[in-house]
């Protein structure tokens, strides 16, 4: 493995931008040899969006968001743990996604995630638009068994559309439906959190109900309180499955906290709520095996705060894993 | 009526930007013939602002904010209703507001709103700066009777100034005072929600008290809770009047949620609070006859989130009306 | 035909944004009935770009760029002509381009251009990325005869790539090659102006030479002077063909004049040079039958100057046609 | 006079922003007592614009544009002169322009310019939109005699409209016509440079011809060369008048050099051409008595380069005056 | 004292930008003669930042943020008081901070704050990066006695780093440590509020504990409620000291409310929480003797909302002081 | 050497951003082993700027500017050469420049450049502010002999100030003076091109004359023509020295072409002029041994065109070297 950055302390703006300036594994062999627990990888895709594009630059922006680098100590104040002491994290680069062909891009994402899994790591995929959850979660289900992986899905939108404009089947509005149809992830293993707005239509929710999907609208969250909803979500998440895939569309956060996204939907989570929920879910008894954070669109993110929030979603998850490991070790 | 857009599904970026890509009524006859319940109309005015201009581009930005179009099903997740199934909505275009002359612009707004009312629709006016509430609410009071229309007014600022810089009487700081002075809307029929900051002066509040105006400061909202305040506002709103005019200055929301406005005032409502309040008020027993959403300034809205929020304020109101109608129909 | 806007003077920010606030023809019948000479139509596509997306919003931005509307007199100062007095121009809306599927989008563009041609108009296509010249020019060649249409192509890039990343054949780097391969427009009928930079590779230029293509690098323009090069281009343009298709990639202009584009290439034309060249070519003896202006990307155009320049490219062409017609009429 | 800033060297970002951090004269008495040759004053007005507003923030942006301060030596490299050694310049603050009332704003501008003239200074007015040339040049003509002041007017637009939208007579499209009609500045004393685009209509040019106005289109400049045109302009400028008023609309420059303006018109002057022309005209034998620089709109000037260019227009003029004075003194 | 602005009402965009358009004291003598209670002064420094610079333009942006000017009545709605009726506030300009030398800049800040104190005023320092708290609080401790001044410090970061990149001791990550080491402010007199994220390392917190520092993480605030935490903070603030220094890093607010800052950390306070906390602390029995508001970075603040929030932090503090004074006077 | 990126074609937005996605040499040994002709290295420094900061992000922005990657053929159209076929180029990363300490940053730059030279490469330094030419050119002079290296310096500013604000000796306004004073590069070996504006003062030019420095103002360039001036510059460049250091401050270009810089000075070179000059100088008989491109400030470069231009300055130089090598080889 190529260890690009770890030999000395340097500020965020110095050097190539791997995630947190962590070591870079250029291929499967390097990744495997690294003994990494977690592989960060990018899925620079935006051909699936129906409105504002730009997420192809999302992985780069998230990588560059940090003002701290792994060559300095990272210490999670709230969890009292250094995440990188317990979790070895490596940057595995990007899937080579050709622009102008969404299917080829998905093939590349699926292959890259499969490689990360094969190397024994937990892949964290930096999107890209939400269509990439289709190849990413498929690769995960292929590894751990169709029907054996649950998905907790944070999003303003259910992404279970039958088809998009022009009858398009593969786009950022329908990856969850495709996953159910293929059998990779049965409907009963989905829990969606943060839905709001005016889409999809009622017929789609009827279909979702038939599939056994569970979801929690923002209106429920406002009425019942977010902590209770998350408690439910954790208990609903697996339903017979052994493993968890966590998919976070940054537009689950209110546009005030995440303006740089393609289809912003006012009335969402605060950054505090989102980060707390990530910590609770990942820190619970569930067995996280993969994760994605999608829909960061840098051209609409003038102050970079959306990329910052996405970066924290990733790092909170890693920290929660580290905390669990430390607890298990009695530390 | 010219039906511009409804024949086929198309994405938000295709075609001319009527509100939600709804049909366009180019004049009174088309509007009347359409049988519409609601007329969306623009008041592109910014000569009334005391600080940052740009609201003349507000109507265009709000129209373009939606990433869903009415040619697809709109389904309000929280209210379980398709708003457009119950409410026929038409885009009635803009009042022809000449730049450089605020009075001529106001004349055009008043005439346009009057036409919409005459055609039997509920006008929803997209501002423009808040000065346009003067002609708009005057037209409404002329129709429904002076003293017979109450105003619920969401705003950081009371807009009851005696006069502005240079003694100017017509600007965005004083429309509510002019409405009271003209007798169109008596002071006792005003309820203001979300006031904060350092203006107007105490003498103005003394005058407001004399007029019987009611208001709810953000400090009251923080202390008592927003839901209780809204409950009060609903009961105070009419006070003998039969009809409601809802006026929403987007700066009632905190600048974090609505940066693209002329006189941002930190410490305001969240998007969730605002949208919930709109749903509750419009969904209550009050009889809404007109509405405006003002002070969206696109030059200061780099990610377009302010226009998105304003768009939702409109659509939440339409959805709440649809919900009421569905309830009445037992659906 | 629906005449949206022509009854009264109004400023640019009032009303729906057709091009120059011109009348809108919603379908083929309206267009045909209008007796229009020119049809403006949008091709909101950006799935073909290899770098920065955003051109799906190009047609909207170009339509909104004008601060003059056709309801006021337009008078071209340099050509001493009112373009709209001699050329009847109608806005024909957008091709219904579904996001996420480039082929479907191209099909829609081709059909829309074919309709405009069938209605007897000269189509002016507002892109969109440059891939749309493939369906657009194909429709034109289908109408006027394969081999009977020449293309003058302003661009920083030759767009004659064999294939793009991942072997993709349809994208914004290869429409000209596909047109030659299909026989719609033979290589000898291409004249390219403004090429510079580091792409395509030498092998591609060898292929271009074999096809009989002609091109004029910026380095030639700097050495010989632009006026001489344009004189040559006009004489080379047709080479046996009777009709001209003019394709203008806004990135032929230097990024200083056109920052809002996907693949900016420093060292290009000034706005003055470009507009002057358009006037000369369109005003020459050639028979212009169609035109496109592509690659305006609004997310990268903070002050809107790229859309302004694209708008002028269109209006200079219309004005030059008007001047020719006036000259022919002895006016 | 209040000498705010001159005691010590400090960087541009330190301290209050007078023009070049020069001393500030808060009222007529201080200005008169200062013995200043030149008074910089702001006219923060944007109610006259027909398209994009924002020029009310122009004076502030121009004052803040400089990265050099007068407490350091300013040395004009091309003219070999320290402008402030020969010309005493004072910042006279802003006319107190109330928003929402264009006439009151004009009254304030006229009074402020009159004070500067009365104090014996040459006023340089920082706009604001171009409507402010009406009160400003009127004050100058009142001082030096109607018909005794010529105007060299750099602009993309002639600003001689009969009236604007809604029949408005006072706006940024017609100040020159109002000046001619009032007799303050006869048509024959106008020379306009840089006109282009599609406005005003031919009838207006016919009227201009009747008034004896002279103008130089960009197309003439491109054909004849700019230096020759400027030579002509200088000789045409006065035509019997003794004094010169120089009015520079920043949109005479191409939008590539001046994006931050309300009605950008592609195809204009380069910054080099504009600055060189200012030096030549002011440095010629004409007797400059006042000057304005207008139409800088900061909300559309993300990198501040338009304000920078406007600042240089002012400083080049001051430097040219200094060079003349030095020459006269044989230095 | 030079009274620049107070003679007449004028809008925010007219005139030089002192804070709230208040009178300007150009030197110590003017400040002392003014009898001011409070001196606003700028510390335009950004050499101490480790990530995104730009805070050198912070003082200017905060001064320009207000859309109300002190020449109009300011009336705090929530506190029912006109802050300027009870507190005489003067703008004391900026410390003359040379770029490129942080030590010289700190010397200038210390001297300027010392002058303000010597003149009998309460200095409110507009940063600038957080490194300026070192010279500013040192000057305050020198005046009131080392160990006799407590600091309530709002921040996402503890700023108690041992050293920065390259072993640098003076930067924005370590001013609090330097203050403790110098003895100016003992550790036990620090209360930090709002800490979160991944820095500083655990060893630093151990050191902080040894020093007797107190801090309240965001996770504590979320669990216990902010009001209770603030109650504690007030009681912990002084611990034997008689005076309070309030230091507010704007990044204590969530990036949604304060995007324009150098090291944004998601998960922070809302604007409402922050402003309420300021009112409570300053309005409590503590004796505030100085205050700073730091880390506003205008290049990352496209809508200016961060500067608006910082401005309100200052004005809420002044209002709370006024309220206390009014209460003491029985008004 | 770590070969990060060269194995397959991929678009610009995929993968880590080395310059042109070229291989990365992480240390001296890898660089030496690579056999590279040219080493690209970053100097992320902005503590030397007197006005707008941000250049610390310059190296990253220039690396990311390219939309072509070295894994595709690069072919210089004007020079008919593939630059990377003749010149082996490697990305050597960044000097580890600690923020808050300019001297430590300079030490790091000097050491990094020295390493690149020691490894036998021609270093191309991506700034950073112009102060970094002091350590960079010193390292080059140390290698090739003091007095044996000439500097051609493109800039709006002479950067020969005696000292900056506060007497600071090391900043971006004085590196050239320090180089002369140290003897590393005698004054007679400097040729400056593009100077304009109002700085430095005449005394500085007198000093420069004494040192034997040569310079070419923009006013000379406008009068004589740029090609003639460049011919002179080439002949003056060496004056007894054997080697050339080329230093390009991006602000030599007009702000229209390079808005994203700290101290923009209107009236500069066009992009075409600058790129042509680079080609001519590097392609001449001079022996280029090092180069820097400085003052790109991304926070002020909203469309990224300044970084694009800087990238081309580098690539034009490499291409000119390749052309010379090909010519020498008779290819």
Interval B243-259 mean pLDDT: 98
pLDDT of residue E66: 86
Q: Does residue A6 have a pLDDT over 50?
A: no
Q: State ipTM.
A: 0.96
pLDDT in tens, D275-284: 999 999 999 9
The Cα of F274 is separated from the nearest Cα of chain A by a number of Å equal to: 28
The residue in chain E having the minimum alpha-carbon distance to the alpha carbon of residue A72 is: E201
Among the partner-chain residues A54, A96, A171, the one whose CB lies closest to the CB of C100 is A171
Chain F, 54 to 113: residues with Cβ < 8 Å from chain E are: 54, 56-57, 96, 98-102, 104
Could you tell me the pLDDT band of residue D237, with boundaries at 50, 70 and 90?
confident
Which of C129, C198, C305 should one mutate to test binding to chain F, selecting the residue with the greatest count of F CBs within 10 A?
C198
What gap in Å lies between CA C6 and CA B330, rounded to an integer?
A: 46
Judged by a CB distance cut-off of 8 A, whether residue A312 touches chain E is yes
Judged by a CB distance cut-off of 8 A, whether residue D275 touches chain F is yes
pLDDT of residue B6: 47
Angle CA F101–F106–F109, to nearest 5 = 130
What gap in Å lies between CA C299 and CA C284, rounded to an integer?
A: 35
C122, C319, D196, F15 from C83: Cα distances, Å: 15, 5, 15, 50
Contacts of C202 in chain F (CB under 8 A): 73, 75, 80, 82
Cβ distance D168 to B98 less than 8 Å, yes or no, reads yes
pLDDT in tens, D253-290: 999 999 999 999 999 999 999 999 999 999 999 999 99
Residues 6+ away with beta carbon under 8 Å from C112 = C41, C43, C92, C94, C95
Q: What values do phi and psi take at D90, rounded to 5?
A: -130, 145
Mean of all residue pLDDT scores within chain E: 95
The Cα of C37 is separated from the nearest Cα of chain F by a number of Å equal to: 37
Could you tell me the pLDDT band of residue C6, with boundaries at 50, 70 and 90?
very low
Percent of chain D with pLDDT over 90: 88
- Return the partners of chain F (3 or more C-beta pairs < 8 Å): A, C, D, E
The Cα of E66 is separated from the nearest Cα of chain B by a number of Å equal to: 9
Among the partner-chain residues D96, D100, D166, the one whose CB lies closest to the CB of B98 is D166
Among the partner-chain residues C10, C276, C315, the one whose CB lies closest to the CB of D198 is C315
pLDDT in tens, B60-100: 999 999 888 887 779 999 999 999 999 999 999 999 999 98
**Cα Rg of chain C (Å, integer):** 18
Among the partner-chain residues B47, B56, B57, the one whose CB lies closest to the CB of D100 is B47
What gap in Å lies between CA F133 and CA F174, rounded to an integer?
A: 10
Give first-to-last CA distance, chain F, whole Å. 29
Cβ distance C201 to F73 less than 8 Å, yes or no, reads yes
- Return the partners of chain B (3 or more C-beta pairs < 8 Å): A, C, D, E
pLDDT in tens, C147-202: 999 999 999 999 999 998 889 999 999 999 999 999 999 999 999 999 999 999 99
What gap in Å lies between CA D141 and CA D121, rounded to an integer?
A: 15
Q: Which of A50-59, A187-196, E293-302, F5-14 has the lowest mean pLDDT?
A: F5-14
The Cα of B291 is separated from the nearest Cα of chain A by a number of Å equal to: 20
pLDDT of residue A10: 82
pLDDT of residue B49: 95
Interval A315-320 mean pLDDT: 98
Which of A15, A40, A105 should one mutate to test binding to chain F, selecting the residue with the greatest count of F CBs within 10 A?
A15
What gap in Å lies between CA E291 and CA E116, rounded to an integer?
A: 12
Helix axes B271-283, B305-328, angle to 10 degrees: 30
CATH superfamily of B19-328: Ureohydrolase domain (3.40.800.10)
Could you tell me the pLDDT band of residue A1, with boundaries at 50, 70 and 90?
low
Q: Does residue C244 have a pLDDT over 60?
A: yes
Q: Does residue A124 have a pLDDT over 60?
A: yes
Q: Which of A207-221, C257-271, E9-23 has the lowest mean pLDDT?
A: E9-23
pLDDT of residue A73: 78
Helix H segments across B119-173? 133-144
pLDDT of residue F186: 96
Contacts of D302 in chain C (CB under 8 A): 302-303
Q: What values do phi and psi take at B109, rounded to 5?
A: -65, -45
Q: Does residue C269 have a pLDDT over 90?
A: yes
Which of E22, E72, E303 should one mutate to test binding to chain B, selecting the residue with the greatest count of B CBs within 10 A?
E303
What gap in Å lies between CA F37 and CA A253, rounded to an integer?
A: 49
Stated pTM of the model: 0.98
Provide the 3-class DSSP secondary structure of residue D44.
Answer: coil
- Count of pairs with CB atoms under 8 A, one residue in C, one in D: 97
Do the Cβ atoms of D56 and D100 come closer than 8 Å? no
- Return the partners of chain D (3 or more C-beta pairs < 8 Å): B, C, E, F
Mean of all residue pLDDT scores within chain A: 95
Among the partner-chain residues C9, C272, C305, the one whose CB lies closest to the CB of D259 is C305
Do the Cβ atoms of B149 and B289 come closer than 8 Å? yes
The Cα of F32 is separated from the nearest Cα of chain A by a number of Å equal to: 17
Interval C101-126 mean pLDDT: 98
Do the Cβ atoms of F217 and F196 come closer than 8 Å? yes
Q: Does residue D3 have a pLDDT over 60?
A: no
pLDDT in tens, A7-36: 567 888 888 889 999 999 989 999 999 999
**DSSP 8-state assignment for residue F285:** S
Cβ distance F75 to C255 less than 8 Å, yes or no, reads no
Contacts of C94 in chain B (CB under 8 A): 10, 14-15
The Cα of C246 is separated from the nearest Cα of chain B by a number of Å equal to: 23
Judged by a CB distance cut-off of 8 A, whether residue A323 touches chain E is no
pLDDT of residue F6: 47
- Rounded average pLDDT per 10-residue block, chain F, 331 residues: 61 89 93 97 96 97 90 90 96 94 97 98 98 98 97 97 91 96 97 97 97 97 96 89 97 98 98 98 96 98 98 98 96 82
Among the partner-chain residues E11, E75, E303, the one whose CB lies closest to the CB of B201 is E75
What gap in Å lies between CA C4 and CA F259, rounded to an integer?
A: 40
Among the partner-chain residues B3, B17, B57, the one whose CB lies closest to the CB of C16 is B17
- Count of pairs with CB atoms under 8 A, one residue in A, one in C: 84
What gap in Å lies between CA F81 and CA F79, rounded to an integer?
A: 6
Domain spans in chain A, listed from the N-terminal domain onward: 19-328
Calculate the CA dihedral of residues E293, E299, E303, E309 and round it to 10 degrees.
0
Chain E, 39 to 58: residues with Cβ < 8 Å from chain F are: 46-54, 56-57
Judged by a CB distance cut-off of 8 A, whether residue D154 touches chain C is no
Provide the 3-class DSSP secondary structure of residue F157.
Answer: coil
């Amino acid at each position: 493995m190529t260890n690009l950055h770890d030999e000395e302390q340097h500020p965020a703006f110095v050097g190539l931008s791997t995630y947190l300036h962590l070591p870079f594994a250029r291929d499967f062999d390097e990744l495997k040899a690294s003994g990494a627990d977690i592989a960060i990888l990018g899925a620079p895709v935006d051909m699936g969006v129906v409105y504002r594009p730009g997420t192809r630059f999302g992985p780069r922006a998230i990588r560059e968001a940090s003002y701290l680098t792994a060559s300095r100590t990272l210490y999670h104040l709230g969890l009292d743990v250094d995440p990188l002491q317990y979790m070895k994290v490596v940057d595995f680069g990007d899937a080579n996604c050709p622009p102008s062909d969404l299917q080829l891009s998905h093939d590349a994402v699926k292959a890259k995630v499969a490689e990360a899994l094969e190397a024994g790591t937990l892949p964290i995929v930096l999107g890209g638009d939400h269509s990439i959850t289709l190849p990413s979660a498929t690769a995960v289900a292929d590894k751990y068994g169709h029907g054996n992986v649950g998905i907790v899905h944070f999003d303003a939108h259910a992404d279970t559309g039958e088809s998009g404009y022009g009858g398009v089947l593969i786009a950022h509005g329908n990856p969850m439906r495709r996953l159910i149809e293929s059998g990779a992830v049965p409907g009963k293993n989905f829990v969606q959190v943060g839905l709001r707005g005016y889409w999809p239509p009622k017929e789609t929710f009827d279909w979702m109900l038939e599939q056994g999907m569970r979801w929690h609208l923002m209106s429920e969250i406002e009425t019942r309180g977010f902590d209770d909803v998350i408690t439910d979500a954790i208990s609903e998440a697996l339903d017979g499955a052994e493993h968890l895939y966590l998919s976070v569309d940054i537009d689950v956060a209110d546009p005030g906290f995440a303006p740089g996204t393609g289809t912003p939907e006012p009335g969402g989570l605060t950054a505090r709520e989102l980060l707390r929920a990530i910590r609770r879910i990942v820190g619970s008894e569930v067995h996280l095996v993969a994760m994605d954070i999608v829909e960061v669109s840098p051209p609409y993110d003038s102050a970079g705060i959306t990329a910052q929030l996405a970066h924290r979603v990733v790092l909170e998850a890693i920290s929660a894993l580290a905390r669990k490991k430390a607890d298990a070790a009695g530390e």
